[in-house]
Amino acid sequence: MIRVVVVDAHLVVRDGVVATISAAPDLEVVGQAEDGPTAVQVTAALAPDVVVMDLRMPGGGGVEAVREMKARGLTSDVLVLTTYDTDSETVAAIEAGATGYLLKDCSAETLVGAIRSTAAGETVLSPAVATRLASHVHNPIRRANLSVREREVLVLVARGTPNRSIARKLFISEATVKTHLTHIFEKLGVSDRASAVATAYELGILG
């Protein structure tokens, strides 16, 4: 089971997210919080696999909570789920250490899939967020001569697909997937999945 903590200031929203997560057979909500400081305490106590975190909360924001979690060495991955996609919110959350960033208008299926991907160590970014992030963290003047296979791998990465599933879908080994990712990072001038996806959207490699 993937153990999840849900953080949102609004009880109605939180209940909806909890219900969506609980309907998945492999996901379990083990804790909840209504603000950032409480989220840090709950995460420290329960050590969930994934924290689904809103950003703006009266009792303390999500960005500060993510920073505090990382400062304490907590290993839970954070998936931001918010209504805000402004440049300042997006960049701050990713720089603080959030693994993924989704908007609340996403489908239940997308949210559940994103939690699974986050738990597997994969980065999940909504297209709108990836585009915003790219303009802040990358040089827009770049050539990216990706091979057909590298593009296929990148498309699956953008969907939050874990390496094992990418290997299975493309009928290649996980080691080969990792090799392709290394080449993709080099060609795009990035160092991680989130940056690769963001840059790919920026350059029009991903539609």
Are 33 and 98 contained in the same domain? yes
**Average pLDDT rounded to a whole number, residues 58-78:** 90
pTM over 0.85: no
Is the model's pLDDT at 101 over the cut of 80? yes
Number of domains within the chain: 2
Question: Three-state DSSP class for 119?
Answer: helix
Rounded mean pLDDT of 176-187? 90
Each residue of 121-149: b (16+ CB within 10 Å) or e?
ebbbbbeebbbbbbeeebeeeeebebeee
Closest by alpha carbon to 22, among 39, 6, 41?
6
Query: Does residue 11 sit in the same domain as residue 58?
Result: yes
Q: Which of 106, 128, 150 is the last residue of a domain?
A: 128
Query: Residue 134: its pLDDT value, please?
Result: 57
In-domain check, residue 207: no
* Mean pLDDT of all residues in 30-58: 95
Q: What is the CATH number of the domain that holds 176?
A: 1.10.10.10
What is the structure's pLDDT at 69?
A: 94
- Helices 174-188 + 193-202 axis angle, to 10: 50
C-alpha 163/C-alpha 157 separation (Å) is 8
Domain span holding position 113? 2-128
User: Could you tell me if 91 and 25 lie in one domain?
Assistant: yes
Same domain? For 97 and 167 the reply is no
> Distance between CA atoms of 166 and 154, rounded to whole angstroms?
10
pLDDT at 140: 42
Report the C-alpha gap between 135 and 73 in whole angstroms.
Answer: 29
For range 10-26, the mean pLDDT:
95
> Are 105 and 177 contained in the same domain?
no
